[in-house]
Amino acid sequence: MPSDALNSVPHTSSVRSSLGEAVSWFGWLSLFLIVLPASLFFLPALAVLSALTILASVWLMQTLVGVFNLRRITIPAFFYYLYFAVILLPGFFIFSDEVTPTRWRFLFGIESVLITVPIGIAIANLLFRFNRKRIAIFFDSPVDVEAPGSSALRVYVILMALGLIFVLINILETPVIPLFYIIRNPGEFLTAAVLREDAFKLLDSHFTYVYSVLRGTIFPILILVAFGRYRLQHLRQWRWPFWISLAIGIF
C-alpha cells in the first residue's frame, strides 16, 4: 500500500502540471484571439500596442526569472516590480497630461525598457549559461555562514566613509537642501518640489551620477548588509555600522 501511494505521487504531480500548462495556453490563446481583437473596437490603437508590449514583457520575465514567484524574488524581478510602480504607471499619467512634442519620445523611452531589460537578461543567461533551475537551486541551498572576522567590517567601514564624503560634497554643492527648507517653511510644498528637482536632476555637478548611485544602490546595500550580519551573527561590532548607515541613508 505505501509503495502504491508513492508511485501515484509523480503521476498526480505530472497531471497537475499538464493541467496547469493547458489552462495557461488556453488563457493566452483567448487573450490574443478574442480579448485583444475585440479591444480594438473599444480602445485606441496606442493603448492596445502598450498592452501588447506589457504582456510580451511580462511573459518574457516570467520565462526568464519567474517574476510571479513571490516566494523567490530575484533582483531582476524586484527591479521589474519597482519599475512598474515608480516609472511605468506614473509615466502613463504624465504622457496623458503633458501635450508636448517630446511626449512620444517619453512614452517610447519608458516602454522600451520593458523589452530591452528582458533581452539583456536573456543575453546574460546565454553567456553565463544561467536558467531558472539555478534560481531554484540557489533558494533551496542552505545559507553559508561566514566566520566572524574584521576584514569584512574593515571593507564595510571604508565604503561607508567614502559614501559619507560624497554626501558632504553633495551638501556643499546643493544651493538649498529641500529637507531643511521644508522644515523651516512648513506648507511650501511647491517650492520644496522645485528645490528637489534642482538638488537632484538639475544639479550642475560632476558627481551627479555618483550621488544617484549612492542614494539608490550603495546606501541601501550597506544598510541591508549591516542589518543582516548583526541579526545573523549577533556581533555588537555590526550594530553601530547599521545605525550609522541607516541614518545617513535616510538623510
* pLDDT value, residue 5: 46
In sequence order, which ranges of the chain are alpha helices (DSSP H)? 2-30, 36-39, 45-65, 75-83, 89-97, 103-128, 132-140, 150-173, 178-184, 189-199, 208-213, 219-233, 239-250
Per-residue confidence in pLDDT tens, the chain, 251 aa: 444 444 444 455 455 555 655 666 666 566 555 655 555 555 567 777 888 888 889 889 988 998 888 888 888 999 999 898 888 888 888 888 877 888 888 889 989 999 999 999 999 999 999 888 888 888 888 877 666 666 788 888 899 999 899 888 888 877 777 777 777 788 777 777 777 777 776 677 787 788 888 888 888 888 988 888 888 777 778 888 889 888 888 87
- On the 0-12 / 13-18 / 19+ scale of CB atoms within 10 A, 160 is buried
Q: What is the pLDDT of residue 112?
A: 92
| Cα 73 from Cα 67, distance rounded (Å) | 7
Q: How many CB atoms lie within 10 A of CB 52?
A: 13
Q: Is the pTM of this model over 0.85?
A: no
Distance between CA atoms of residues 181 and 174, nearest Å: 12
Place of cell 522645485: 194
pLDDT score at 3: 47
Residue 114's pLDDT is: 92
**Non-local CB neighbours of 56 within 8 Å, separated by 6+ positions:** 114, 115
